[in-house]
């Protein structure tokens, strides 16, 4: 099941988050994958691009991760909560991420 989907800022690609423990970036025109999956240990509930489209935040259970959307390199996986993360968003300059959870 797909839990979230969002276009990148220029509309050329879409990121999806799904129950198969991965987020994926797809070409918006032909639907083909543009990267390897961005994986977690449990279902990925959300994935969102930064305003410039270069970074990606994903959340799964109580962990959010920040990735380089172009290379797939994991940048930060230290965003841990005590409860499930329901929302995550980059600030407009891409320098910070805010996350929200039940605890």
Q: Quick check: 76 pLDDT over 80?
A: yes
For residue 81, what pLDDT is reported?
83
Q: pLDDT band for position 8 (50/70/90)?
A: very high
Could you read off the pLDDT of 45-71 as tens digits, one per residue?
A: 999 999 999 999 999 989 999 999 999
For residue 44, what pLDDT is reported?
96
Helix (H, G, I), strand (E, B) or coil at 32: coil
User: Which tokens belong to 9?
Assistant: 């800022």
For residue 80, what pLDDT is reported?
85
SS (H, E, C) the chain: CEEEEEECCCCCEEEEEECCCEEEEEECCCCCECCCCEECCCCCCEEEECCCCCEEEEEECCEEEEEECCCCCEEEEEEECCCCEEEEEECCCCCCEEEEECC
For the segment 30-57, the average pLDDT, to the nearest whole number, is: 96
**Prediction pTM value:** 0.92
């Amino acid at each position: 099941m797909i839990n979230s989907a969002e276009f990148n800022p220029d509309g050329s690609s879409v990121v999806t988050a799904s129950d198969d423990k991965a987020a994926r970036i797809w070409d918006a025109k032909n639907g083909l994958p543009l990267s390897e999956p961005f994986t977690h240990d449990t279902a990925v509930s959300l994935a969102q691009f930064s305003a410039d489209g270069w970074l990606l935040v994903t959340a799964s259970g109580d962990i959010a991760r920040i990735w380089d959307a172009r290379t797939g390199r994991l940048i930060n996986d230290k965003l841990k909560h005590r409860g499930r993360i329901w929302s995550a968003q980059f600030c407009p300059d891409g320098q910070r991420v805010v996350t929200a959870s039940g605890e």
